Structure 1
Amino acid sequence: MSLPADDRPASASAPAPAPVQASAPGRRTLLRAGAVGATTVAMAGTAAAAGTASAAPATAARGFDPAPGAPGVGDPLFPTLGNGGYRVTHYDLTFDFTPVSYDFTGVVAMRALATQDLSAFNLDTDGHTIDRVTVDGRDAAWSLSPGQSGQELTVTPARPLHDGAAFTVEVHYHGNGKDHRSSLSGWVFGADGGFACAAQASRADTFFPCNDTPSDKAAWTFHISAPEGYVATANGELLRRTPRADGSTVWHFALREPMPTELCGIAVVKGTYLYGASHTGLPLRHVVPRGEEDTYAPIVARTADHLAWLEAKFGRYPFSLYGLHIYGGYTDALENQTLSLFGTNWFKPNADGNPTWENTMVHELTHQWWGDSVTPRDWQQAWLNEGPATYYAALYSEERGWSVMADTMKKTYGSLNAVRAADGPPGLPNALGGTNIYDGGALVLYALRMRAGQSRFDRIMRLWPERYRNSTASSEDFIRHAVRVTGDTTLDPFLRDWLFGAVNPPMPGHPDWSVTA
């Protein structure tokens, strides 16, 4: 994750669906240029997945007592993000975007399982006009209300849902990418009139109604339209492209491994796909600005070596493909699952002429294990994303001769006490994006390495993504994991002091390190 400082986070040519009243019931990387997509119109059909009847099981052994699901999951940093009463199993997103005008129409079909008897439930949304909502194909009543980090879309199905029932909610909506949002927007605009999605941490709801919490991961399919001269991107594998009579193209993608909403990577841009493979045959696909293929082809080609370097540390890459999306409208870097997003501004050598942008490439690639495959259970666990990504980027830089890790960590150690006091310790931040999560998280791992020794440290780090693959985890899980792997129970209080303490503990192996007054 590379979050901005505040968060560290012409109309469509076919009419929108008719609205319903809110009160309705109811081995060497070889790159080659890919073909460019084709003009967008609003898609008439829905992409709803088949819903499952929500009738009570015949063997129900208890009473039926439907109640509304909670409007938030109680995340320490974003209390009203996410929603209670269900968990999502699959999102199917149809998204029609008109470049330059920034108008869009969308249909999101969310398959879920009720985790209680539900009379109503919420989705997170922000800045959309809701046209219609159905639950299992029946019109549902709905309402919008303000939330702490956007808006709450409350859905009341025509029939209450039983605990354990599978159901599908389908929301038809429209809007404009530059419309006012009640909270931060995830829309990134380039000079090409297109857009990219930078949803982390609380901005996925500015693209589609969803359960916007890292604790609820799901499989995904995407159907993104692109006009002639533009390409569409999304997480996962490109299944096919469907041409339409007007020259536009719908790009269909599938991500089979579960993903939280904050890692969504949809985009419609003037770009070129470049394809290749890792040293082990993993498919690589990158999207670079059109006309700048010669500039970025050798840069993205470095991905194969980065993958080999990290797979030696964490084991097999956790997904079925990877790539970079480089976009001129963006100025940060973000670990969107299987397709990391980079601004063009990153790719400049340092003062010594070294390509230190590779450190950032390694940082975002590390996230595919630490943050994407293994996702923090809530946002107060974000050091588990950023600490490893920062640590291994620094290690890569040291191995390339561009920096010295001990010097970097000593500098962080000297300033971290002040950061702990202002922003919270690495394991208990009071906001996202601070030095405590990034450099402080890396310092925790450096201290663990100095205490446990290189061999045991490497084993802790390698087995973590294997143990928690495609799931969520917490700081407590990491502490237990370190103790389990090493058999050293003293690592429990050691890590607690480093993660949660008000001041830095002494650094093992460096008794001379001191805190800057």
Structure 2
Amino acid sequence: MTRTLQERSPRRRTRLRGAVALGACAACLALALPTPAAAGDPSPGAPSPGAPGAGDPLFPRAGNGGYDVRNYDLSFDFTPGSYDFTGTMKISAVTTQALSSFHLDTDGHTIDRVTVDGRRAAFKLETGDGGEKAGTGQELVVTPAQPLRSGRHFEVTVAYHGNGKDPRTGAQGWSFISDGGFVSTVQATRADTFAPVNDTPSDKATWDFHLTAPKGWTAAANGKRTGKRRAGDTRTTWDFALDSPMAPELMGISVAKQTELRGKGPHGLPLRHYVPSGQVERYKPVVERTGGQIAWLEKQLGAKYPFDTYGVQIVKDGYDAALENQTLSVFSPNWFKDAEKNDKYTTTMVHELTHQWFGDSVTPSDWQQAWLNEGPAVYYAARWADDKGFQPIEEKMKEAYGKLDAVRKTDGPPGLPTELGGFNIYDGAAVVLYALSQETGEKTFDRIMRSWVTRHAHSNASSRDFIRNAVEVSGDPSLTTFLKHWLYDKDNPPMPGHPDWS
């Protein structure tokens, strides 16, 4: 999923190629995928290497097993124009098995030094096989001076350097701005092009960022800005902290000629936005819409915005889509070309904002269940469009229902996509939610969705969890069969209340 998160323009329908073909047991995998903690042997015993992948159905070699990350602390010193950088990543983690060695995902970096708990560790870089690894980069294999027992807290520090435009083994996560800066757009498995990480959505952690750049440039990152300090005579370091857990695919860092704008949202929520320098007058009215959008979604979902800050980042150029980086959604300026003529661009803003609940706070346990991210984002953006008079939601859902039947057969049903970025997990998944609302009635549907974002806040969840939640909230056990048909069948089930839809 390359934040070609669609529901909008054809360019957002770009797909990630190279996902593995699904076997006969794909439905079983989707409902019972082991987490990284379970990917290796969780029992005490003789130390053994951690698994080189988390077992994701679409990206089997992305992520790693044998440990659970608790915190990432990234220091990143960037030089605009040349795109050179140096980095230090400190990872605090807990072993889930006795480890003789473990893997980190990295891509395109020169590794200078690795320590585990302050002691030099042996390391080597291995290249992914290109096929099974599905373009997910390289493996940094770390062998600590002494094996790590199961359940042990440890810290690994990796010093490295590179260039943003160096060749990568996997997909590139850098979007280059014409002023010489960059913005990170790393979904789904591209965070490793910036730093060594455990690049799987099933291992969320808190984050700290320390971004250094020359004076005159502005750095931005997820979370709250906690400081700004001099780094020598000509450079500045910007510090950020994200206290809510985040999957690596939602990392949003940048260095650019950009201006920070601040405001307050509902309940005094701190808002900070970034717009291209010299274009504040043009984009200030756009970003000021954010507070009202948050209030609207809080009413729809019956739940407060899940983090302690939010913002919109509009880049000058170099990026052509939109992406829900946690607490700081990034947008191409193309979305706002007609902002002075109409408000339809707000639908895209609401789509990315919805992801802060669906995808960022409640994160799917693997990528084959990305419908849990995209379905709600398309659905609530469609509700917004209906509410604002842009397009009736019934009209949008009828059109999508008509297209979905053929897509199920070529790209997989919404709950079992064969790759990311397709119609099935966007509009198709929204159709699944619309069908659920027609089956249960809107009041019960709203209770199901509200319970989902509160019950699983700041954690991982699966399709099986969604079905269980729907049954428990509604008291209707028939929803198990109903949702399984809508999520996994090769043909569209009949749409409740609309026998004329075909």
What's the TM-score once normalised by structure 1's chain length?
0.88
Secondary structure in 2 aligned to 1:389? Answer: helix
Match of residue 4 from structure 2: 2
Q: What is aligned with 2:495?
A: 507
Alignment partner of 1:231 out of 203, 214, 218:
218
Counterpart residue type for residue 359 of structure 1: T
Name the residue aligned to 2:89: 108
2:198 to 193, 202, 211: 211
CA distance in 1, matches of 2:456, 2:337: 36
The residue type equivalent to 1:332 in the other structure is A
- What residue in structure 2 maps to residue 322 of structure 1? 310
> Is the 2:95–2:152 Cα contact (8 Å) retained in structure 1?
yes
CA deviations on 1:173-223 (whole Å, 9 max, x unpaired) are 100000000111010011110000001001000000110000000001000
> What's 1:448 paired with?
436
Amino acid at match of 2:137: G
C-alpha separation in 2, matches of 1:279 and 1:163: 44
Deviation at 1:280? 2.0
Superposed displacement of residue 247, structure 1: 2.6
Please list, as runs of the form range in 1=range in 2, the aligned pairs for 1:60-459 lying within 5 A after superposition: 64-147=45-128, 148=133, 149-314=136-301, 315-327=303-315, 328-349=317-338, 353-459=341-447
- 2:431 maps to amino acid: L
Q: Report how far residue 6 of structure 1 moved.
A: 4.5
Please give the alpha-carbon distance, in whole angstroms, between the structure 1 residues aligned to 2:266 and 2:357: 18
The one-letter code sitting in structure 2 at the alignment partner of 1:73 is: A
- Three-state SS of the structure 1 residue aligned to 2:140 is strand
Whose helix fraction is larger, Structure 1's or Structure 2's? 2
Q: Which AA in structure 1 matches 2:153?
A: A
Q: Give distance in 2, aligned partners of 1:138 and 1:498.
A: 53
Q: Which residue of 2 aligns with 1:37?
A: none
User: For residues 16 and 358 of structure 2, what CA distance do their matches in structure 1 show?
Assistant: 17
Distance 1:6 1:179 in 2: 23
2:260 aligned partner, one-letter code: Y
Instruction: Kindly indicate whether the alpha-carbon contact (under 8 Å) linking 1:348 and 1:355 is maintained by their aligned counterparts in 2.
Output: no
Q: Which amino acid aligns with 2:428?
A: G
- Cα displacement (A) at 1:404: 1.1
1:105 and 1:421 mapped to 2: Cα distance?
47
Q: How many residues matched?
A: 461
2:268 is paired with a residue whose SS is: coil
- CA–CA separation in structure 1 for the residues paired with 2:391 and 2:13: 25
Q: CA deviation at 1:353?
A: 4.0
* Residues 449, 161 of structure 1: alpha-carbon distance in 2 compared, 3 angstrom cutoff: same
Q: Match of 2:468?
A: 480
Separation (CA, whole Å) in 2 of partners of 1:125 and 1:5: 26
Alpha carbons of structure 1 residues 247 and 63: separation in structure 2 relative to 1, 3 Å: closer
Percent of pairs with identical residues: 59
Give the residue type in structure 2 aligned to 1:66: P
Q: More deviation in 250-259 or 325-334?
A: 325-334
Cα deviation for residue 246 of structure 1 reads 1.6
Q: Is the 8 A contact 2:371 2:425 kept in 1?
A: yes
Q: Distance in 1 between matches of 2:266 and 2:439?
A: 34
Q: What letter matches 1:340 in structure 2?
A: S
1:410 deviates by: 0.7
Q: Distance in 1 between matches of 2:15 and 2:61?
A: 16
TM-score of the pair, normalised by structure 2: 0.90
Structure 2: stretches of 5+ with no match in the other structure: 6-11, 18-42
Does the 8 Å contact 2:230/2:236 carry over to 1?
A: yes
* CA distance, structure 2, for counterparts of residue 313 and residue 411 of structure 1: 24
Equivalent position SS for 1:280:
helix
Looking at structure 1, the residues matched to 491 and 398 of structure 2 have their Cα atoms a distance apart, in angstroms, of: 15
1:5, CA displacement in angstroms?
4.7
Deviations 1:255-282 (A, max 9, x none): 0000000000010010000000013210
SS of 1:100's partner is: coil
User: Which portions of structure 1, spanning 4 or more consecutive aligned residues, are displaced by more than 6 angstroms?
Assistant: none
Q: Which runs of 5+ in 1 are unaligned?
A: 10-61
The secondary structure found in structure 2 opposite 1:450 is helix
Cα displacement (A) at 1:8: 5.1
> Alpha carbons of 1:490 and 1:159: their partners in 2 closer, same or farther (altered >3 Å)?
same
Q: Which moved more, 1:427-436 or 1:324-333?
A: 324-333
**What CA distance in whole angstroms lies between the structure 1 residues aligned with 2:67 and 2:497?**
48
Is the contact between residue 417 and residue 424 of structure 2 (CA under 8 Å) also seen in structure 1?
Answer: yes
Deviation at 1:415, TM superposition (A): 1.1
Q: Distance in 1 between matches of 2:256 and 2:84?
A: 14
Rounded to whole Å, the distance in 2 between the matches of 1:244 and 1:128 is 23
